[in-house]
Amino acid sequence: MCGVDPWLRDESNPFITSVCDDKYARLRVADLITPGQDKWNEELIQRIFNQRDVAEILKIPVTLLQNKDAPIWRFSNNERHINEASGYVELVFTLIHELDKENMVQVAMILWTIWWWRTQKCWNDTLPSVLYVNSRAKEALDDRVRVRITLTQHRTVATLTEQQNWIKPQQGTLKCNVDAVCYVAENKY
C-alpha cells in the first residue's frame, strides 16, 4: 500500500509518499476503514501517513470501496470496477462507429498513447500523469498530420514529374518495407 500502487486521486502523484513502518507494510486499503461503519478510520490514517497522504486518502469517498479489495479506476465516482472491462470495450467500439473521422482519429491516438505508456509502466516502471498522456497523444496526432501533409505534397510532385513503380530487387539482395512514425518537434522517429 505504501508507495506501491497508484490509488490516490492526486493526478500529479497518485502514490503514497509516507514512509511506512514495517508493522503497517501488509495493510490493505480496506484495513483503513472502520469496520461496520463505512467511514475512514481517521485516527489510524493520521498515525500512519503524513499530512499530504492523510488529506488525499480522506478525499476518497468510502462508498467507492467494498469490504473485499477490488481494483477500481481511481477517478471513478461510482462503483464500476476495472474487471468490468467488457463495458469499456463496448464503449470503444460504439465510439468508433459514432464519431466523425477527426474525433475518431483523436480517440484512437489517445488509446494508443495510453497503451504505449502502459507498456512503459510494465517494462520501465514509469508512470506519467493523465495530462502528460493526453498532451503526448495530441503531439503524436499533430506530428502524424504534418507528416501526411508533407507526404501528400511530395507524392503530388513525384506523380507530376515521374510515375514511381516498384522494382524487383537484384538477385542476392533483400528489399525491406518499413513503417515509421516521425516526431517533428522532437526531431526523432
37-89 per-position pLDDT tens digit: 878 999 999 999 999 999 999 988 876 555 455 555 555 555 444 455 556 67
CA–CA dist 156, 163 (Å, integer):
10
Average pLDDT, the chain: 75
* Number of Cβ within a 10 Å radius of residue 56: 20
Whole-structure pTM value: 0.38
Q: Domain locations in the chain?
A: 1-76, 85-161
Say if residue 49 is exposed, middle or buried (CB neighbours under 10 Å; 0-12, 13-18, 19+): buried
Quick one: which of 45, 24, 49, 21 has its CA closest to 33? 45
Contact by Cβ (8 Å): 48, 24: yes
Grid cell for residue 176? 525491406
